Amino acid sequence: MAFSTLKTDLRKRLLAGAMLVAALFTLIQAVDYRQNVPSNDTYQYAKQTLRVLGDSPGQAVHEAVVMYCQDSGNSAATTSTLNYAGGSGSGSSSYSSAYEACLHTYRDGLTPSSPRYLAIFTSRPGYPLLAAPFAAVFGLRFGLWFAAMLCTVVGSLLVLVLLRTAGASRWAALGGQALFLAAPTGYWGSRMLTDGPSLATTLLALLGAVWLVKGRMRAGLWALGAGLVSGFLVRYSSEQVAALALAVAALICLRWVPSSRGRGMKAVAVAAGGGFVVSELASTLLGWPGLSVSLQDTFTKHFIRPDVSNPVGRLVRLDLHYWGYYPVSEQTALLVLLGLIGIAAALVRRHAVYGIFVSAVAATGIAAVVAHPIASQADRLMSPVWVLLALGLPLLFTARDRAKPVEQLPEPESAFAPEAV
pLDDT at 332: 83
pLDDT, tens digit, 9 for 90 and up, residues 319-341: 999 998 888 778 788 888 899 99
Provide the 10 A C-beta neighbour count for residue 251.
16
pLDDT at 411: 41
Give the C-alpha separation, 378 to 154, whole Å: 24
- Find out whether 65 and 103 touch, Cβ atoms under 8 Å: yes
- Find out whether 157 and 416 touch, Cβ atoms under 8 Å: no
pLDDT at 399: 65
What single string gives the DSSP state of each residue in 138-178? H-HHHHHHHHHHHHHHHHHHHHHHHHHHTT--HHHHHHHHH
pLDDT at 75: 54
Does pLDDT of 124 surpass 60? yes
Q: Which residue has the higher pLDDT, 421 or 42?
A: 42
Give the C-alpha separation, 364 to 265, whole Å: 20
pLDDT at 79: 47
pLDDT, tens digit, 9 for 90 and up, residues 247-259: 999 999 999 999 9
Sorting pLDDT into bands at 50, 70 and 90, what band is 74? low
pLDDT at 330: 80
For residue 219, count CB atoms less than 10 angstroms from its CB and return exposed for 0-12, middle for 13-18, buried for 19 or more.
middle
Does pLDDT of 409 surpass 50? no
Does pLDDT of 348 surpass 70? yes
The count of residues in the chain is 421
Average of per-residue pLDDT across 147-158: 97
Average of per-residue pLDDT across 179-188: 96
pLDDT at 420: 35
First to last CA, the chain: 18
Report angle CA 243, 245, 248 to the nearest 5 degrees. Answer: 110
pLDDT at 415: 33
pLDDT at 11: 82
Average of per-residue pLDDT across 9-34: 87
Does pLDDT of 22 surpass 90? yes
What is the DSSP-derived secondary structure letter of residue 250? Answer: H
Q: Which residue has the higher pLDDT, 155 or 85?
A: 155
- Choose among 301, 381, 370, 358: nearest CA to 111: 301
For the chain, give the mean pLDDT. Answer: 88
Does pLDDT of 419 surpass 60? no
- Find out whether 370 and 319 touch, Cβ atoms under 8 Å: yes
Which long-range contacts does 92-98 make (Cβ < 8 Å, 24+ apart)? 98/69, 98/72, 98/73
Does pLDDT of 162 surpass 60? yes
- Is the pTM higher than 0.85? The answer reads yes
pLDDT at 369: 95
Sorting pLDDT into bands at 50, 70 and 90, what band is 35? low
pLDDT at 190: 92
Average of per-residue pLDDT across 10-14: 83
pLDDT, tens digit, 9 for 90 and up, residues 218-275: 999 999 999 999 999 999 999 999 999 999 999 999 999 999 999 999 999 999 999 9
